[in-house]
Amino acid sequence: MISLRYHIVSITAVFLALAVGVVLGSTAISGRLLSGLSDEKNSLAQQVNDLQNDRNSLNAKLTEADKFASSVGPLAVKDRLTDRTVVIVTTSDARPSDRDALSGLLKSAGAAVTGEIQLTDAFADPSRADQLRDLVARLQPAGSQLPTAGDPGTRAGGLFGKLLLLNPANNEPQATADETASALAGLSNAGFVKATSGVKPGQLAIVLTGGAAIGDSAADRASTVARFATQLDRSGAGVVLAGANGSANGTGAIGVVRADTNATSVLSTVDNSDTPAGQVVVVMALREQLEGRSGRYGVAGNAEASSPGTAG
Beta bridge partners of 254: none
Q: What is the pLDDT of residue 309?
A: 82
Q: Are 194 and 118 in contact (CB under 8 A)?
A: yes
pLDDT at 29: 61
Residue 113 bridge partners (DSSP): 86
Burial of 193 by CB count in 10 Å (0-12 exposed, 13-18 middle, 19+ buried)? buried
The pLDDT, as a whole number, for residue 249 is: 85
SS3 of 78-106: CCCCCCCEEEEEECCCCCHHHHHHHHHHH
Q: Tell me if residue 136 falls in helix, strand or coil.
A: helix
Q: What is the pLDDT of residue 20?
A: 47
Give this prediction's pTM: 0.81
Q: Give pLDDT, residue 312.
A: 47
Q: How confident is the chain (312 residues) per 10-residue block, as mean pLDDT?
A: 56 55 56 74 71 60 57 86 97 96 97 97 96 96 88 96 96 96 96 93 97 82 96 96 89 94 96 96 97 95 90 51
CA-to-CA distance for 282 and 210, rounded, in angstroms?
A: 14
Which runs of E-coded beta strand occur in 78-181? 85-90, 112-119
Instruction: Mark residue 127 as left, alpha or beta (left: phi above 0; alpha: psi -120 to 50; beta: remaining).
Output: alpha
CA max distance for the chain = 125
- Helix or strand run (H / E) with residue 207: strand 204-208
Cα–Cα distance, 78 to 109 (Å, whole number): 4
Distance (Å, rounded) from C-alpha 227 to C-alpha 229?
A: 5
Gap between the Cα atoms of 260 and 254, Å rounded: 10
Closest by CA to 205, choosing from 237, 162, 252, 245, is 237
Asked if residue 110 lies in contact with residue 190, where contact means CB atoms within 8 angstroms, the answer is no
CA distances from 311 to 255, 265, 303 (A): 19, 16, 10
Sequence-ordered list of residues with C-beta below 8 angstroms from that of 69, at least 6 positions apart, any chain = 275, 276, 277, 280
In the Cβ-directed half-sphere of 120, how many Cα atoms lie within 13 Å? 14
